[in-house]
Chain A
Amino acid sequence: MNVLLDHFADFREGFVGTVLLTLASGLLAMVLGVVIAGFRVSPVPPLRAFGTAWVTLFRNTPLTLLFLIAWFVVPVIFAPGMSPWTKALLALSFYTSAFVCEAVRSGITTVPLGQAEAARSLGMTFSQTLRLIVLPQATRTVVAPLSSIFIALTKNSAIAGAFSVTELFGWQKTLSDQGYAIAWIFLWVALGYLVITFSISGLFQLLERRLGVAR
């Protein structure tokens, strides 16, 4: 009657699904977030407006609503025939990108003013200043908030399971529908998420130590 041993393959499949979905949407959210953060600090007003609108929109919308849009609106209006996995990827990474953008932007503001001023007085352009001077230094302060953003992303990926993507939550639902005791399933699934979130925070702590500079 041990639910973990009886359904180990299912648990493993769900676990791998969660990890893959988190990795893929984390990567896409990073790229989107950094680009949008660049928009938000750029000297071009429409780009700034676009960045602000993006962040306001995605930070204040419940993720469940985004999933609903990805499931019922996007296929009808824009691209029919997307797989559920792609839809989940899009919803998760668009949502997370707004948070990444804010983290990166606040990281940019922590870089000492003198750095950007020195870069400018050397004749660097806006994109050079950002790319070569400011962003590399911002990375250091951004790592800590990014870690909690990715942990939140891991947990948010559970919503994809409710919308029929294979991952841990989906298996919990299936198993508890089969009549296994919910408490045990809950604990095993919790353990699965704990493994993922602990490895993320460990990884980022390592990264923080590597990037850290004695000042």
Chain B
Amino acid sequence: MSSSVLYDTPGPKARLRNRLYTVAGSLALAALLAFVVYRLDAKNQLDPKIWNIFNNAGVRTNIRDGVLTTLKVFAAAGALSLVLGLLLAVGRLSEHRPVRWFATGFIELFRAVPLLITIYALWVLFLSYKDDLGVVGDNAAFWGLVVGLTFYNGSVQAEVLRAGINAVPRGQVEAAYALGLRKYQVMTTLLLPQAVRSMLPTMISQLVVTLKDTSLGYVITYTELLFAARTMASNIIVNGDNPFTAVVIVVGAIYIAMCLALSSLATWIERRGRRAKTGVAVAAAEPPVVLDGAR
């Protein structure tokens, strides 16, 4: 029945018992689901009137703008964090001590501090130096969020890349130096391509984390999807109450769909990478040649 090693292929008795558990488990799950639906219904949350708000053009525009803003922050922070991660990873492996120390300190500091605190501190900083910073001052919340996400995720991406670089066999680097390649040539033509290739799934998983963390913009009142939805819900009144539940369910579904799409990309790349490990296709073996008199 299954490939699991934890239990045998069930015999007649075990099949009966498993079937019993299956029925009991299904009943328990159905009961749980029914309880949730019952409670939702008892609190009038399944009223068609509440769910009808999603037919309203304004509500839809609000949600769409929220999604677009979230994606905008994600695109900016994702791209910047990859660049910063690259720089920090190379910096941490540098032969120059000050560069190495700076990169190490930066990575350790921003990995240790909760992202929310970084974002909040940057936001307050940007707000208080609004006039000096010019462009930044106009949308301090956006830049606070993007720079905070970049610092944290860049540090994590740097560590991922460094692990990838260290995983490249030492002999390859020695061979490259023996061929007369320079330091930056070794890094750009030999180490980084292999590191990126082997670490791509992990890097994309970290991008999923970046996408999820854009919701921290809620705390600094930046109107990404979560904050937009919350503000919208508190401005709508259906049956004398705000439709928080319905809006949260819809927004949650959107977040889950976005994250699943991104992480399935990671899984796909991982599977693809496993299929051709070296990147060089091995030619199929020729059919054996049978000599005439060999038999």
Contacts and interface: CB of A to CB of B under 8 A. Distances in A.
Contacts of B219: 64, 159, 162
Interface residues of B, number: 52
Interface residues of A, number: 55
B256 to A, nearest CB: 5
B87 interface: no
Contact of A44 (B8, B25, B45, B121): B25
A65 B255 contact: yes
A161 B22 CA distance: 42
Interface stretch (A28-36, A82-90, A169-177): A169-177
Contacts of B125: 182-183
A94 to B, nearest CB: 13
Given A41-B6, A62-B212, A189 B117 contact: yes
Given A62-B212, A182-B121, A117 B251 contact: no
A139 interface: no
A82 B116 CA distance: 25
B9 to A, nearest CB: 10
A158 interface: yes
B182 interface: no
- A interface, by DSSP: helix, strand, loop or mixed? helix
Contacts of B216: 64, 159
Interface of B: 1-2, 4-8, 10, 18, 21-22, 25-26, 28-29, 39-40, 43, 45, 109, 112-118, 120-121, 124-125, 128, 208, 212-216, 218-219, 226, 230, 244-245, 248, 251-252, 255-256, 259-260, 263
A43 interface: yes
A65 B117 contact: no
Contacts of A45: 22, 25
B5 A116 contact: yes
A49 B116 CA distance: 34
14 contacts: A46-B28, A61-B252, A62-B214, A72-B244, A76-B43, A116-B6, A120-B8, A126-B6, A129-B7, A157-B114, A159-B219, A190-B109, A190-B112, A197-B112
Contacts of B212: 60-63
A172 B116 CA distance: 11
A169 B120 contact: yes
A73 B39 CA distance: 11
Interface string A76-108: 111000000000000000000000000000001
